Structure 1
Amino acid sequence: MKPDDTAHGEPLPDTANPFLGRTSEIPGLDTLSEDADAFLIDQFGTIHDGEHPYPDAIETLHAIRSAGKKVILLSNSGRRATNNDARLAAMGFTTDCYDASLCSGEVGWADLRADPLPCLRQHCRILLLARDPSLDILEGFDIEPVDTVESADLIMLAGSQTDLYGYDTLWDRIRPGIARNIPLVCTNPDRLMLAGGQLHPGAGTLAEAYRNAGGHVRWYGKPYPRLYRAAFALLPGIPRPRIFGVGDSIEHDVAGAAARGCNSVLTRTGIIAHASDAALAAEMTRYACRPTTIMSRFQW
């Protein structure tokens, strides 16, 4: 069992971040040219809104690479990489925008293939909760989709539909699995999601409730270690302090980077687009970390 397979699923810091201190505001990423060699850049809420690129996002990615910096898109997308990359391409984020694209669904698939839960070592009945009904995250396993947790051997939580059905409805759907000792795999640990311009509970909130009620949860994505280990493997020789995580979530992008000894840039877009300074300060206190820098939006 790996560190973040525990019932609590807390991310374990690989190293201490020596750069946590007073947060500075910057106009754009070019300000960090002398300090950064690589950027781990969030997708939804940072470079796009799920359907369209944010203004200047594509140009900024090109500018980062032209400056000789590595760009890894690091996403909590619960689907496999081919699906995620196709969505990026449809929005104009072609492969010349980045050096690599990593998503929690792909890392989760690879890890489950290498270290499957006991129920996946045989014919396994799967209850999937996701915005897309595809089970590509369990490709290669002997699986059978089912509609109720009472007939399931495993719950796959790859995305949130709380905007469509409400939190209580989805929680009532998975809660009986706790008494049956049904494990839950969460490939999208985002606690909040944007839909229709409104914030809703994310898949991570449901997984957290399942864990807190005594259920077993295996987590993939930011801020947990596996996704970062995959990213660092693509950045050999680059010291952690010269790697900057960039995103709109203090819990995932900032705390995840800090726990690995990296620096961070918080963009005031996405889930924090309308957050007050006081609300952001409260989030920093809650997760015991501060971004190294803050900027109004993703730009060079």
Structure 2
Amino acid sequence: MTRPPSRPVTRLRDIAPAYRLFFVDQFGVLRDSQAAYPGAIEALRQLRAEGRKVVIVSNSGKRSAPNEERMERLGFERASWDLFLSSGEVAWRMLAARPASERPKRCLILARDGDVSPIEGLGIAVAESAAEADLVLIAGSEAPDRTLADYQALLEPAAARKVPALCINPDMTMLVAGGTAFGAGRIARLYATLGGPVTWIGKPYPEIYRSARAIVGLDGPALGIGDSVEHDIAGAKGVGADAALVLAGIHAGEEDLEAVYLKEGARPDHVLERFVW
């Protein structure tokens, strides 16, 4: 479509009529780590009221259900979306599709709060260390409490044995209180440099979008809305959807977005100051 406007579009209603399906990011668009953004609850509700299909597509390493429960606690209504699909959910479905005999036996999980939902009910034990793991699941970063050097020391025994890793949260940067920190994607990149094989699940990789379309059963014009050029904008453009960048997340205060577009090789079709109707 067209190049982004010279000044941000301030209302979602200006662009919504052109699309049937919306891939909406969670963190940095609808909410931060503490609360819903002003106007986001109503904007999501209004999209559904207009008859649009809404899929919340998140790089959360947790499965969809705990994400939806958190959204409800923040005041969002489940009726405001047709599907919530997290990268953790996609990973669980991929592992569940394997015969039980072909699933890993012991999994080392890296997560912020000890979440093990991506392997629940699959007969996979939690490994106590990288030395005994036959799968590494990179679901979250504990930065700034842990450094990349801490993660390197933790993961080297698994990387040396070429233990496969699933990165189910490809975000390189995450929002934390007071700013940003390195995300799970940086840990996965580190693991790859140590020689460990990594499979990436989530935005900008196409499988999560394909899974979402298959579940909702809808083709036609789609718009991806997110706050990350690297993940949300590149991901949407990579599967043939249009993209809208929201400036309330990790690019808030960015002085040279053109440089970001060039670096990531992706340019949004629209720019929104916030996710408001």
TM-score by length of 1: 0.86
Deviations 1:70-119 (A, max 9, x none): 11111111111111111111111121221211111111100112147x9x
Whether the 8 Å CA contact 1:162–1:170 is kept in 2: the answer is no
Return closer, same or farther for 1:259/1:126 CA change in 2, 3 Å cut-off.
same
Match of 1:89 among 67, 72, 84: 72
Question: What CA distance in whole angstroms lies between the structure 2 residues aligned with 1:159 and 1:294?
Answer: 28
Match of 1:32 among 12, 15, 24: 15
Return closer, same or farther for 1:122/1:37 CA change in 2, 3 Å cut-off.
closer
Match of 2:95 among 96, 99, 112: 112
**What are the residue-to-residue correspondences of 1:30-179 with 2, within 5 Å?**
30-115=13-98, 121=102, 124-179=105-160
Q: Tell me whether 24-33 or 285-294 shows the greater mean CA deviation.
A: 24-33
**What are the residue-to-residue correspondences of 1:229-240 with 2, within 5 Å?**
229-239=210-220
Deviation at 1:122, TM superposition (A): 5.6
Match of 2:268 in 1: 291
Question: What CA distance in whole angstroms lies between the structure 1 residues aligned with 2:16 and 2:165?
Answer: 42
Match of 2:189 in 1: 208
Return closer, same or farther for 1:225/1:59 CA change in 2, 3 Å cut-off.
same
| Ranges in structure 1 where 5+ consecutive residues have no aligned partner | 1-18
Question: What CA distance in whole angstroms lies between the structure 2 residues aligned with 1:175 and 1:198?
Answer: 29
Q: 3-state SS of the aligned residue for 1:244?
A: strand
Letter in 2 for 1:299: V
Match of 1:181 in 2: 162
Letter in 2 for 1:46: V
Deviation at 1:282, TM superposition (A): 2.2
Match of 1:10 in 2: none
Deviation at 1:227, TM superposition (A): 0.8
Q: 3-state SS of the aligned residue for 1:176?
A: helix
Match of 1:263 among 242, 252, 262: 242
Q: 3-state SS of the aligned residue for 2:145?
A: helix
Return closer, same or farther for 1:148/1:46 CA change in 2, 3 Å cut-off.
same
Question: What CA distance in whole angstroms lies between the structure 2 residues aligned with 1:200 and 1:160?
Answer: 9
Return closer, same or farther for 1:143/1:285 CA change in 2, 3 Å cut-off.
same
Deviation at 1:271, TM superposition (A): 1.1
TM-score by length of 2: 0.93
Alignment RMSD: 1.8
Letter in 2 for 1:146: A
Match of 1:3 in 2: none
Letter in 2 for 1:264: A
Question: What CA distance in whole angstroms lies between the structure 2 residues aligned with 1:236 and 1:82?
Answer: 20
Whether the 8 Å CA contact 2:167–2:200 is kept in 1: the answer is yes
Letter in 2 for 1:291: P
Q: 3-state SS of the aligned residue for 1:160?
A: coil
Whether the 8 Å CA contact 2:83–2:216 is kept in 1: the answer is no
Deviation at 1:237, TM superposition (A): 4.5
Match of 1:6 in 2: none
Return closer, same or farther for 1:233/1:122 CA change in 2, 3 Å cut-off.
closer
Question: What CA distance in whole angstroms lies between the structure 2 residues aligned with 1:253 and 1:56?
Answer: 20
Return closer, same or farther for 1:107/1:123 CA change in 2, 3 Å cut-off.
closer
Question: What CA distance in whole angstroms lies between the structure 1 residues aligned with 2:98 and 2:238?
Answer: 24
Deviation at 1:179, TM superposition (A): 1.2
Question: What CA distance in whole angstroms lies between the structure 2 residues aligned with 1:235 and 1:151?
Answer: 39
Whether the 8 Å CA contact 2:30–2:275 is kept in 1: the answer is yes
Question: What CA distance in whole angstroms lies between the structure 1 residues aligned with 2:218 and 2:200?
Answer: 27
Letter in 1 for 2:229: I
